[in-house]
Amino acid sequence: MQKGILEQYLTKKIPSDSKFSYPEVKNAIEVLLNHNSGYPWVNEFEKKFADKMGMNYAIACNSGTSGLHAALYAVGIKEGDEVIIPALTVIMDAYAVIHHGGIPVFADVDEDTHLVTAEEIEKKITPKTKAIITVAWDGISCDMDPIMALAKKNNLKVIDDCARSILSTYNNRLVGTIADISVFSFESKKHLSAGGEGGVIVSNDEILATNARKFAGIGYKHMTADAGRTHLAISTVQDPNYKRFDTVGVNYRMNDITAAIATGQLERIDEIVSKRQKIGKMFLDATAGYDWFIPQKIPKNCTHSYYTFSVDYKGFEKFGVRWKEFYDRYQDSGGDGFYAIVAIPYTEPALLGKTFGSTKCLPGLCPVSEGLQERVMCFKTNYRDLAEAQQKIDTLVNLLRSF
């Protein structure tokens, strides 16, 4: 950090374009200067996050992917079990299933909302199905009530991947509070960033929370749903006959600096999400009226937290202008680029051509998802300066009008 900036942070004179503000920096410095204090940063973050979400339990992890892996363990996924996931998602949802020996089963999504539906999930249920992963894609919840009813009818557990959707709502409930167990990510581009990587699992089910914590915490037998450890007399553990582990786990625990930064971000999360929502609405209003530039549909019972402003671009069909040509013209005009949707998991080299259960990973499995992946444009909403966001939006509007 350049000379003088640290002093600005510590006196609350925050640079306007800073990603991290006073609480995050102060907390991180306190960890470094008092690293032997034993202050429970991780436990504090877990409690505050659970309180914010209105949930009983929160288990902090070192990434959202770790959280998915632990959540699948918590619901009992074993070798040969099928887990239904949307085709339009990141590959990590499939990876987490595969690492447990499970079989990822890909369901197609709705073309307007870009979200998996109960109808598409039901088509994929077999006697081997044990769980469903829903994905609140880009800031909007799936239609969870029918999905939860379907899961209950078939004795399935639901894991909600909320990596991109903190503080979104569905039927006046926060996203992440409806499924049996849910996972958030704090990677650097997410709404709440913990300085690089981080994640958290939430649940109201004590058994699921305990299972997840033990798996993510190396399998310590005294871990509980609501704490990283129980308080044992030192004479109990200082004994050659003391046995520590009753679960085959992994070390996915969050560290204190990550927890300290995440705690600071959590203090500002309403402000952070509100700004993204303002920018998303600015994009939405400015680009309305084009039948070939179609925004992700927001169901009436949902609020959007705008991880990105996503549109289904059909300019090639209408004007013969390909996705990449539009991208180049936008960037050449002063835009700062935008993102494509990540490749459909089963088309990635890591999975392409492999067989899981009765399904071979080849293009054609989920045509709606594959079509959207080729067309959708995801515009940034994480500008910290509304004037800069407006400039990029104006550039986009000028480009749209030129067609």
- Residues annotated as catalytic are 190
Q: For residue 38, count other CB atoms closer than 10 A to its CB.
A: 6
Answer yes or no: are the C-beta atoms of 227 and 201 closer than 8 Å: no
C-alpha distance from residue 5 to each of 16, 124, 159, 260 (Å): 12, 54, 42, 20
Per DSSP, 87 falls in state S
Q: How far apart are CA 299 and CA 117, in angstroms?
A: 13
Q: How far apart are CA 17 and CA 373, in angstroms?
A: 32
Of the candidates 370, 379, 369, 289, which has an alpha carbon nearest to the alpha carbon of residue 327?
379
Per DSSP, 230 falls in state -
Q: Report residue 353: phi and psi, to 5°.
A: 85, -10
C-alpha distance from residue 150 to each of 125, 154, 203, 264, 356 (Å): 10, 6, 19, 38, 24
Per DSSP, 133 falls in state E
User: CA 17: distance to chain centroid?
Assistant: 24
Q: How far apart are CA 261 and CA 21, in angstroms?
A: 10
Of the candidates 196, 107, 114, 179, which has an alpha carbon nearest to the alpha carbon of residue 144?
179
